[in-house]
Amino acid sequence: MHISEGILALPVIMAGYTLTVAGVGIGLKRMKDRDVVKTAVFSAAFFIASLIHVPVGLGNVHLILNGLLGLLLGPACFAAIFVALLLQGILFQFGGLTSLGVNTFNMAMPALFCYFLFVKLPQAKRLSLTVRGFLAGFVSVLLSAVLLSLALSLSGEHFEASAKLIFITHIPVMFVDGIITAIVLRFLEKTKPEIICE
């Protein structure tokens, strides 16, 4: 779900960087000292999970796990995702530096949305952790695919077909991410429950 260099229109790039800088700034401001190690660990997990690409059609799909980061890190997910994507862009040329703002926002904003929806919203407490995990994994990838498609569409009509194809190829990823997020949360609930946001 990385957008490469030279694809996005300048206004989209500028908007992406503006929103990402704001998100990272707020996330860092709210991050407590005790959360730095947890944020680094899950940034590394995000980095590794999204390195494994499976070719589908004209592009590739990969695990994203942004819903997991949202549930476990809250606003700090912006910083975690930004660092992971920056390193991927520099080390492996996945995505790019001009598209880094948009790529970060596309993954971090849905993660943050899932944090507020499935952690902070009182009604969410009625759902089991497994259900919240699956829904967060599914919804975060769904919203990321929508944002990515929107960014491509806003960059030119010639990208509309690609945007639709990218969205369709990520439908299976929504389910897989949901299942893996639920499994990881259940594991953490049994082994390290204190790191789960409540």
* Extents of the domains making up the chain: 10-195
Please return the burial class of 50, using the count of CB atoms within 10 Å of its CB with bins 0-12, 13-18 and 19+.
buried
Reported pTM: 0.90
Cα angle vertex 95, ends 159, 135, to 5°?
Answer: 80
- Look-up of token digits 């942004």: 66
CA dist 45 → 21, 77, 116 (Å) = 22, 12, 22
Cα angle vertex 168, ends 8, 186, to 5°?
Answer: 105
Helix (H) or strand (E) holding 145: helix 129-154
Q: Would you give per-residue pLDDT tens digits along the chain (198 residues)?
A: 677 777 888 999 999 999 999 999 999 999 988 899 999 999 999 999 887 766 666 566 778 899 999 999 999 999 999 999 999 989 887 777 889 999 999 999 999 999 999 998 888 878 899 999 999 999 999 999 899 888 888 887 767 777 777 788 788 889 999 999 999 999 999 998 888 866
| Cα 63 to Cα 49: distance, rounded to the nearest angstrom | 6
CATH of 10-195, one of 1.10.1760.20, 3.40.710.10, 3.30.365.10, 3.40.640.10: 1.10.1760.20
- Look-up of token digits 């077909």: 161
Q: Are 81 and 1 in contact (CB under 8 A)?
A: no
| Cα 184 to Cα 189: distance, rounded to the nearest angstrom | 8
What pLDDT does residue 59 have? 62
